[in-house]
Amino acid sequence: MSSNNFLSLFSSSIGKKVIMAVTGLFICLFLVVHVAGNFQLFKADSGLAFNKYAVLMTTNPFIKTISYILYLTIIIHAIRGLMIEFENRKARPVRYAKYDGNANSKWASRNMGILGTILLVFIVVHMHDFWYNYKFGHTPYTLYKTELATGKMTEAKDMGPDFKMGSKMEEMLAGDYKYVIVKDLYKEVKEEFKQLWWVLFYVVCMGAVSFHLYHGFRSGFQSLGLNNRRYNNIFQSIGTWIFAIIIPASFAAMPLYFYFNQ
Amino acid sequence: MNITLKVWRQKNSKERGRFETYHVKDVSADMSFLEMFDVLNEDLITEGKEPIAFDHDCREGICGMCSMYINGRPHGPLQGVTTCQLHMRSFKDGDTIVVEPWRAAAFPVIKDLAVDRSSFDRIMAAGGFVSVNTGNAQDANSILIPKTDADLAFESAACIGCGACVAACKNSSAMLFVSAKVSQLALLPQGQVERHERVISMVNQMDEEGFGSCTNTGACEAECPKNISVENIARLNREYLSAKIAK
């Protein structure tokens, strides 16, 4: 019987949930790394640490492999999620005239499709602004001069729009100084968040992240069958405090930081 | 008390339905919600009109027949009760109450407020039983079952199959019903032999009937008249995953 083979698992109603859970939780894991790395934006070094980090993230073969797995994961999560949304609408062809959803469930849990769609739009815009422009656009280079004896960065010089280089980063030693020429993603971030409407867009989208993960993180464990009275409070607390509050608030603080520190 | 009812009227499964407004006067606060419908129907019959079709049987909350969606919630505003256990004292004089049938592709309307829930029967027929003849009741403790397992199985077995979980779910998912029926056997030794086949067959049947996929909103658990927990759904997911991997 073909419906009993292992692969048919993924087309069943439970298999769909498993796909959403596994991909969703993997994306949650990525967010932890992403927010931790981005904290370097707050470092007062004109972006040297952040730019070096950007080079590492886009050149290391192991990290690059994980990145491509992540992009695929996001695509699967989005497509499968949208399909579930439309399939589920078909399961109720006639809507209720009076419906009191708040009486029995939380708003976020009922609106994962809308929240997810907002996040998909956000990811496309975000990837275009920083990933695409960094990889294929005209991200400028900056020269950082660091004193070797003290390790202090003494000068950051814009190399101008016409400067081109074969690699993303070159380091050289001369006298008492270390010079680093690196693609300046930090500058792109800084420029983008001088504009109020970009800041608002990012902050609103982080609100969507918060609601999406408030339901999504805990829900992922339930879908995988991990509902245990001993651990439920831990899953819910991590989902609420780390994924619905700390992570979105930290991300939202980044555009606000640049907007108010012009 | 005087009540205004907006009730869904639909001649048969083919016709498009519509809401009709009825004014029920001198309703006693001690009447059950169904008794109020009985009074209304008697009035309608006296006036020579078609009475409202609705499902009911035991009227003591154990048969699972009554199925009204009242003011946006299955079985009305109270928790842990069926419509027959809901009394008019839960409403105020002058209230307007909207009454609809369960809405789901897998629960087509037969007439007015009565829906066809035979999709649940087909899910049960697909595997919600033990195939061997178990004979007479055995001596107590001849099969040892841990108390915690017995209690959990009993809680799952409390499901009366009314379909409120499907009605409450924004996805019309039958996951709570199926999970309770799978759990009551998966937790007991008698259910072990057919454990894998059972969960696969029942989930396949559930999907074929056109119920939606669970998105863990928890609305089913909140509206279940028997307080069946979504822990059962997690157990169903585990049972199904391990059956698929083992098979």
- Domain parsing of chain B, residue ranges: 3-110, 117-246
Residue B91: burial class (beta carbons within 10 Å; 0-12, 13-18, 19+): buried
Q: Which residues pair with A142 in a beta bridge?
A: A158, A182
Rounded to the nearest angstrom, the minimum Cα separation between B231 and chain A is 6
> How far apart are the C-alpha atoms of A95 and B104, rounded to whole Å?
9
- pLDDT at A166 (0 to 100): 85
Residue A109 neighbours by CB under 8 Å, 6+ apart: A215, A219, B215, B216, B217, B218
- pLDDT at A138 (0 to 100): 82
pLDDT 10s digits, B59-113: 999 999 999 999 999 999 999 999 999 999 999 999 999 999 999 999 999 999 9
Query: Is the pLDDT score of A32 beyond 80?
Result: yes
A97 pLDDT band (50/70/90 cuts)?
Answer: very high
- Asked if B65 and B115 count as a contact pair (C-beta separation under 8 A), the reply is no
- pLDDT at A1 (0 to 100): 40
A128 pLDDT band (50/70/90 cuts)?
Answer: very high
pLDDT 10s digits, A65-75: 999 999 999 99
Query: Is the pLDDT score of B161 beyond 80?
Result: yes
CB A13 to CB B215 under 8 A? no
- pLDDT at A63 (0 to 100): 97
**Which residues 218-247 of chain B have a CB within 8 Å of chain A?**
218-219, 222-223, 230-231, 233-241, 244-245, 247
ipTM: 0.91
- Asked if B100 and B90 count as a contact pair (C-beta separation under 8 A), the reply is no
- pLDDT at A144 (0 to 100): 95
> How far apart are the C-alpha atoms of A26 and A69, rounded to whole Å?
10
Rounded to the nearest angstrom, the minimum Cα separation between A78 and chain B is 15
Q: Yes or no: is domain B3-110 CATH 3.10.20.30?
A: yes
- Percent of chain B residues topping a pLDDT of 90: 93
User: Using a CB-CB distance cutoff of 8 angstroms, which residues of chain B are in contact with residue A15?
Assistant: 244
pLDDT mean over A142-155 = 90
- Asked if B226 and B216 count as a contact pair (C-beta separation under 8 A), the reply is no
> How far apart are the C-alpha atoms of B201 and B212, rounded to whole Å?
17
Q: Which helix (H) or strand (E) holds A13?
A: helix A13-38
A154 pLDDT band (50/70/90 cuts)?
Answer: confident
- The residue assigned the tokens 């403790």 is B141
A209 pLDDT band (50/70/90 cuts)?
Answer: very high
The pTM is what? 0.93
- pLDDT at B112 (0 to 100): 97
A219 vs A153, higher pLDDT = A219
**Which residues 60-119 of chain A have a CB within 8 Å of chain B?**
84, 87-88, 90-101, 103-106, 109-110, 112
Residue whose C-alpha is closest to residue A94's, from B136, B216, B106: B106
> How far apart are the C-alpha atoms of B209 and B126, rounded to whole Å?
12
Query: Is the pLDDT score of B177 beyond 60?
Result: yes
User: Using a CB-CB distance cutoff of 8 angstroms, which residues of chain A are in contact with residue B103?
Assistant: 92, 94-96
pLDDT mean over A32-57 = 96
pLDDT mean over B187-192 = 92
Residue whose C-alpha is closest to residue B37's, from B51, B48, B58, B47: B51
- Asked if A187 and A173 count as a contact pair (C-beta separation under 8 A), the reply is no
- pLDDT at B17 (0 to 100): 95
Residue A193 neighbours by CB under 8 Å, 6+ apart: A199, A202, A254, A255, A257, A258, A259
pLDDT mean over A36-58 = 95
- pLDDT at A2 (0 to 100): 42
Searching chain B, which residue's CA lies closest to the CA of residue A89? B171
Residue in B100, B215, B221, B241 to test binding to A, most A beta-carbons within 10 Å: B215
Q: DSSP state, A139?
A: P
pLDDT mean over A200-225 = 97
Phi, psi of B171 (to 5 degrees): -100, 5
Who among B6, B73, B171 is closest to A104 (CB)?
Answer: B73
- pLDDT at A4 (0 to 100): 55
Residue A87: burial class (beta carbons within 10 Å; 0-12, 13-18, 19+): middle
CB pairs under 8 A between A and B: 143
Who among B173, B200, B219 is closest to A105 (CB)?
Answer: B219
Radius of gyration of chain A (CA): 22
- Asked if B241 and A226 count as a contact pair (C-beta separation under 8 A), the reply is no
Least confident of A178-182, B20-24, B135-139: B135-139
A3 Cβ under 8 Å from any chain B Cβ: yes
Handedness of CA A37, A38, A42, A48 (dihedral sign): positive
- pLDDT at A26 (0 to 100): 98
pLDDT 10s digits, B193-244: 999 999 999 999 999 999 999 999 999 999 999 999 999 999 999 999 999 9
CB B211 to CB A13 under 8 A? yes
pLDDT mean over A2-24 = 84
Rounded to the nearest angstrom, the minimum Cα separation between A48 and chain B is 44
User: Using a CB-CB distance cutoff of 8 angstroms, which residues of chain B are in contact with residue A227?
Assistant: 230-231, 233-235
Could you please state the CATH topology (level 3) that the domain comprising B117-246 is classified under.
Fumarate Reductase Iron-sulfur Protein; Chain B, domain 2 (1.10.1060)
> How far apart are the C-alpha atoms of A170 and A141, rounded to whole Å?
10
Query: Is the pLDDT score of B14 beyond 70?
Result: yes
A17 Cβ under 8 Å from any chain B Cβ: yes
Residue in B68, B119, B171 to test binding to A, most A beta-carbons within 10 Å: B171
